[in-house]
Amino acid sequence: MEVVKKLPISYIYTRMIREEIKKLTKPVTLKIFTSSKNPQESVKMMKVMDIYQEASNELLKIEEYELETNSDLVKKYEIQQAPTILMTNARDQVIIRYLAVPTAAKIQPFVQALMVLTGTPNYYEKVIKENLKKIKPTVIKVLITDYCAYCSTVISICSQFALASEGKLQTSIIDIMAYPDISEHYNATTVPTLIVNEDKKLIGDITAEELLNELIDKTL
């Protein structure tokens, strides 16, 4: 009998991507900004996105824009670095940004966000909508790595909150191994680290309830 030894990670993740994306049932379009100044990450991003697209039964459409030659869109969507994936709502508002190639811990929350974007019910939606008036407009930056045990869950929570918030919340998923300058900027030495409105730093396995408490304006 064959003994299972260390499995090649790329094989595992390719299989996971194919398994997850086939759950998509409705069409969705992603905008991806790449950059000739960051060719390595840009090429990696598009290679991974090809895997998603090929397995999506033609439901995933990708619009690729080069950062250097699309200044109007760069300005409109406030793109500062590339590669960046944008998930936008029906009003063309950016809900989720991925400054991260969606592999490893990001695969499931990434596909899950696509599904919710196309109409799959969101577990947190009811409570977020009930509290929408009390929630301050907020950008949540989620600093993560591929090797972080808690990141997948925290990405999921932050993404689902943003998707339920009718544009009040925006979540950015940032792989700090790909963007070490962002990690240095926030002096992050642990993952996941959440930066809430450039102001508050939350670390570790924060729960949905704890995050909601941070987002609610207690004076309202």
Partner 1 sequence: MFNIDMEGIDPEKTYDLIVLGGGPTAIACAIYAARFALDVLVIGKIFGGLIATTHLVENYPGITSTSGQGLMEMFKEHMNSLSIPYITDEIRSIEQASDHFVLHSFFQKFKAKSVVIATGSERKKLGIPGEEEYAGRGVSYCATCDGPFYKDKTVCVIGGSDSAAKEALFLSQNVKKVYIIYRGEEIRAEPINKKRVEDNHKIEIIYRTNIVEIKGENTVKSVIFDNDTEFEVDGVFIEVGSIPNSDLAKHIGIKTNEKDEIIINRKSETNLPGIFAAGDVADAPFKQAITGVAEGVIAAYSAFDYIKEMNIEY
139 binds partner 1 (CB under 8 A): no
174 binds partner 1 (CB under 8 A): no
**Cβ closest to partner 1, residue 79 vs residue 111:** 111
39 binds partner 1 (CB under 8 A): no
Q: Which of residues 8-27 bind partner 1 (CB under 8 A)?
A: 12, 16, 19, 23
* Whole-angstrom distance, CA of residue 63 vs CA of residue 74: 14
Helix (H, G, I), strand (E, B) or coil at 197: coil
**Cβ closest to partner 1, residue 46 vs residue 150:** 150
HEC letters along 21-88: HCCCCCCEEEEEEECCCCHHHHHHHHHHHHHHHHCCCCCEEEEEEEHHHCHHHHHHCCCCCCCEEEEE
Torsion of CA 179, 181, 185, 186, to 10 degrees: 30
**Cβ closest to partner 1, residue 67 vs residue 135:** 135
Q: With beta carbons less than 8 A apart as the criterion, state whether 194 and 154 touch.
A: yes
56 binds partner 1 (CB under 8 A): no
Considering only 27, 132, 149, 200, the residue that binds partner 1 (CB under 8 A) is: 149
Reading the block at residue 7, the tokens are: 């499995």
* Whole-angstrom distance, CA of residue 19 vs CA of residue 36: 31
Q: Which of residues 96-115 bind partner 1 (CB under 8 A)?
A: 105, 108, 112, 115
Residue 177: CB atoms within 10 Å: 12
118 binds partner 1 (CB under 8 A): no
Q: Which of residues 188-217 bind partner 1 (CB under 8 A)?
A: 188-191, 193, 201, 203-205, 207-209, 212
Q: With beta carbons less than 8 A apart as the criterion, state whether 174 and 182 touch.
A: yes
137 binds partner 1 (CB under 8 A): no
- The residues that touch partner 1, with contacts defined as CB under 8 A, are 3-7, 12, 16, 19, 23, 105, 108, 112, 115-116, 120-124, 126-127, 145, 147-153, 156-157, 160, 177, 183, 187-191, 193, 201, 203-205, 207-209, 212
